[in-house]
Amino acid sequence: MSKQILEKESVVVKFVGDSGDGMQMTGTLFSDAAALKGNDIATFPDYPAEIRAPHNTIAGVSGFQVHIGKETRIIGDKCDVLVAMNPASLKANLKWVDKGATIITDGDAYDEKALEKAGYAANPLTDGSLSSFCVISPNITTLAKETAMAYGLDNKSAERTKNMFCLGMVYYIFSFDLETPFKLVDKRFEGKGKVAEANKKVILAGYNFADTMEVFASTFQISSVNLEKGKYRNITGNEATAWGLLAAAEKSGRQLFLGSYPITPATEILIELAKHKSLGARVFQAEDEIAGICSAIGASFAGAMACTTTSGPGLSLKAEAIGLAVMTELPLVIVDVQRAGPSTGMPTKSEQSDLNLALFGRNGEAPCIVTAASSPSDCFYKAFYAAKLAMENMTPVILLTDGNTGQGSELFRIPKMSDLPVIKPPFAKKNDAEFKPYRRDPDTLVRQWAIPGTEGLRHRIGGLEKTDVSGLVTTDPANHAKMVELRSEKVMRLAKRLSKQNVYGNVDANTLVVSWGGTKGVVYTACKEINNSGKAVAHAHFSQIMPLPENTAEIFAKYKKILVCELNSGQFANYLRMSLPKFKYEKYNKIQGLPFTVNELVNAINNIIK
């Protein structure tokens, strides 16, 4: 039978199964192969909080969504292809599948016990409930085991290759040459030759099954992305954050020190930096969150480019120490990879939950610079500039990313170090007869960084209030008021030196949609879709939160309606009401541990336009 080849600009593929089915690895192998094939990619790992939930239950479903194509700013609303390894994963994800889409599932998994655990009264493969989809359900486990055991794997290991059989079928659907995927498997199982060879044979078996059994009436040819010349890689936001910190350390001439405690979903930053001792990185895995940040403050006092990484619960614990960094006016980067709260909340689900905490979550008057990354690759640049802002302004900077951004991935053009700006910390010079620990630059109000051991720069520092200029411990009321004002004004004056806020879309529209952080791609896409439909909407995405860009009020004044979209109950909208109260703000919020979809944003924005 001749196959029809369909050309598409982009498709969404999602791999789902039990936590032990290797869905994260399968999705990563597919997305890496797609990137090397010339596609743009955006990924969305989606996994449960349980270490190992009961087998074949919805609570234990793990997933990995991949959007590939010509341009993929978003992870995609619904799937064109769903690979579901068992009934529970099918049931949990069917609502995310487009009508007419292809579903590949393992016929071996649909026994009576598994169906009952998943909550099915009847087998969906035979009861007609999936008639609006193209369902392919071979006995994948059996076919994979037969192939893998023929190449020397034991029964248990052979059964675990079923995900590779599915991967082979998906490679066939999208007309992949297997040379690149096989190289990725060799790299993944480096040093395990027999395992690598067996997995490659299972991939090939899945590929050949899809071809020879003629189970797919059509295959797809996906448009390649037009990329600027350079070196690219598929990178997660957490990896990009680590690289941005490394780049900032090199540009500033400072040794990088990370003091952190492992916490989902931020741990990968610590893991990535630990790999780069050869670049001068020093990583301390602390016994708790407080020890992590306090070690970083000590390193900053000693002259290092210091940082700490965490998520919402850890940021809460670090609050007092952040106040210490504010009081001592030492540079410090605090990376918060946000997740759903409060308390432990939903640790593997992402929300923009910590903005209030970043802005206000400290005792006393303790202002910090707050910035946010908008995508996995943007994490590199925001981490770099967070370090630059911290060192050049002698103050803590909180960088907000989130679980989707930090653990999702996309193509990243690796920049040349020569293209990045120089970082110039305000070092005090040795034997400076006029040195005083709190003498400030008259324009920026930034104090100098006096490295311990530098001749002639002995001074006192700590968490108690200090006298202006001289830095002696004091409880003088007037001096305290002055120092509080100086520390705040130092942060606020930064607005004059920051880039102006941009507006996208139809800038002359009556309605402005506002977003911040990791929602940029999906809000941008929704606004573009509305403008393409003949309606008019403008879009302002904020990465700089505290202080706000200097022209924010000027922009807001041009619009009759301002809609603030965020993955919380309205924290940025409330902050805007406090900062710029003359404007009226509408809100559109989602608090489900899930990202926005384009469709729901289009509906919300259209309702505001009406």
393 Cβ contact partners less than 8 Å away, ≥ 6 residues apart: 331, 369, 444, 446, 490, 491, 494
Give the pLDDT of residue 297.
98
SS3 (DSSP) at 601: helix
- Spatial separation of the C-alpha atoms in residues 366 and 376, rounded to whole Å: 29
Give the pLDDT of residue 3.
65
Same domain, 201 and 242: no
pLDDT (tens digit, 9 = 90+) per residue, 418-472? 999 999 999 999 999 999 999 999 999 999 999 999 999 999 889 999 999 999 9
Same domain, 384 and 468: no
* 8 lies in some domain: yes
Residue 150 Cα distances to 188, 191, 245, angstroms: 21, 20, 47
Range with the lowest mean pLDDT among 224-238, 369-383, 589-603? 224-238
Which pTM does this prediction carry?
0.95
Same domain, 459 and 556: no
* 228 lies in some domain: no
Same domain, 183 and 239: no
**Which of the pair, 152 or 385, is modelled with greater confidence?**
385
Q: Which residue has the tokens 């999705």?
A: 27
The CATH number assigned to the domain holding 519 equals: 3.40.50.920
* 252 lies in some domain: yes
Residue 369: pLDDT over 90: yes
What residues make up the domain containing 405?
A: 233-419
Same domain, 281 and 239: yes
The CATH number assigned to the domain holding 119 equals: 3.40.920.10
Mean pLDDT of the 107-132 span: 95
For all residues of the chain together, what is the average pLDDT?
A: 95
Domain final residue pick, 365, 395, 419: 419
Same domain, 564 and 448: no
Domain final residue pick, 439, 471, 497: 497
Same domain, 52 and 149: yes
The DSSP element (H or E) to which 145 belongs, if any, is helix 140-150
- Spatial separation of the C-alpha atoms in residues 590 and 596, rounded to whole Å: 7
537-562 b/e with 16+ CB inside 10 Å = b?
bbbbbbbbbbbbbbebeebbeebebb
Same domain, 49 and 129: yes
Residue 204 Cα distances to 2, 37, 161, 199, 220, angstroms: 21, 18, 12, 9, 18
* 59 lies in some domain: yes
DSSP character string of 187-245: HHTTT-HHHHHHHHHHHHHHHHHHHHTT--SEEEEEPPP---SS-EEEEEHHHHHHHHH
pLDDT (tens digit, 9 = 90+) per residue, 230-247? 999 999 999 999 999 999
Task: Tell how far CA 82 is from the center of its chain.
Answer: 23
The CATH number assigned to the domain holding 254 equals: 3.40.50.970
**Which of the pair, 225 or 283, is modelled with greater confidence?**
283
Q: Which residue has the tokens 């030759």?
A: 193
* 202 lies in some domain: yes
Mean pLDDT of the 512-525 span: 97
Give the pLDDT of residue 220.
86
Same domain, 414 and 435: no
- Label residue 488 exposed, middle or buried (CB < 10 Å: 0-12, 13-18, 19+): middle
491-508 b/e with 16+ CB inside 10 Å = b?
beebbeebeebebbbbee
pLDDT band at 347 (very low <50, low <70, confident <90, very high): very high
* 227 lies in some domain: no
* 317 lies in some domain: yes
Same domain, 440 and 380: no
* 371 lies in some domain: yes
pLDDT band at 73 (very low <50, low <70, confident <90, very high): confident
Residue 5: pLDDT over 90: no
Same domain, 58 and 161: yes
Give the pLDDT of residue 164.
97
pLDDT (tens digit, 9 = 90+) per residue, 306-338? 999 999 999 999 999 999 999 999 999 999 999
Residue 1: pLDDT over 70: no
Residue 210 Cα distances to 11, 179, 293, 416, angstroms: 19, 18, 53, 43
Residue 476 Cα distances to 291, 436, 480, 575, angstroms: 31, 19, 6, 32
Sheet holding 511-516, edge to edge: 504-505, 538-542, 511-516, 561-566, 586-589
Mean pLDDT of the 265-272 span: 97
Give the pLDDT of residue 227.
86
pLDDT band at 567 (very low <50, low <70, confident <90, very high): very high
Residue 166: pLDDT over 90: yes
pLDDT band at 2 (very low <50, low <70, confident <90, very high): low
Give the pLDDT of residue 225.
87
Same domain, 17 and 81: yes
Domain count for the chain, please give it: 4
- Spatial separation of the C-alpha atoms in residues 525 and 610, rounded to whole Å: 20
